[in-house]
Structure formats: C-alpha cells, structure tokens
Structure 1
C-alpha cells in the first residue's frame, strides 16, 4: 500500500512545517494588531424577559 510509505510525504511535511515556523510565522507576528484589546469592561445591558400573551 503506497499510502503507508512516508518517504516523500514526510520530507514535504517537515519542509513545509519548518518553512512556516522559521520564515512565515515571524513575519506574520511582527505586524501590529489593527484592533488591540482594550481594558474597558464590557457594557452590560439590562434585558427584560419577553412575556408571551398565550402562555
């Protein structure tokens, strides 16, 4: 069964993983976030339950 032969696919997976980890990921992480998290507490709105007339 050729699916069980890891010879070409393991090298391709390892190469792509190393490329992503060493080249692509640091470039992506160097960008600053366009929407940084704020320290504000979220606004809580008071909701009233809906009273169905037929219950």
Structure 2
C-alpha cells in the first residue's frame, strides 16, 4: 500500500509546515487590521416577554 509509505509525504508536510510557520506567518501577523475592534459598552437590554395568546 503506497499511501502508508511516509517517505515522500513526511518531507513535504514538514517543509510546508516550516514554510508557513517561519516565512508566511510572520508576514501575515505584521499587518495591522483596518477595522480594529472598538470597546463596546455593556448594555443589558431586557427583552419584553412574548404575549402568548393561550396563557
């Protein structure tokens, strides 16, 4: 069963993981988000109860 042979796939997976973690990820993390999250005030809104006709 050739799919159980880890020889070519282990190297490909390791190299792609290293490429992502060492090259691509720091470049992506250096970008600043354009819409930074704003501080929302915590408002507790009480929703009115539903007027069920059969109660």
TM-score (norm 1): 0.80
| 1:5-42: CA deviation from partner (whole Å, max 9, x where unpaired) | 00000000001101101111011101111222333323
How many residues get paired?
A: 55
CA RMSD of aligned residues (A): 1.5
- TM-score w.r.t. length of structure 2: 0.80
Aligned residue runs from structure 1 range 1-55, under 5 A: 1-55=1-55
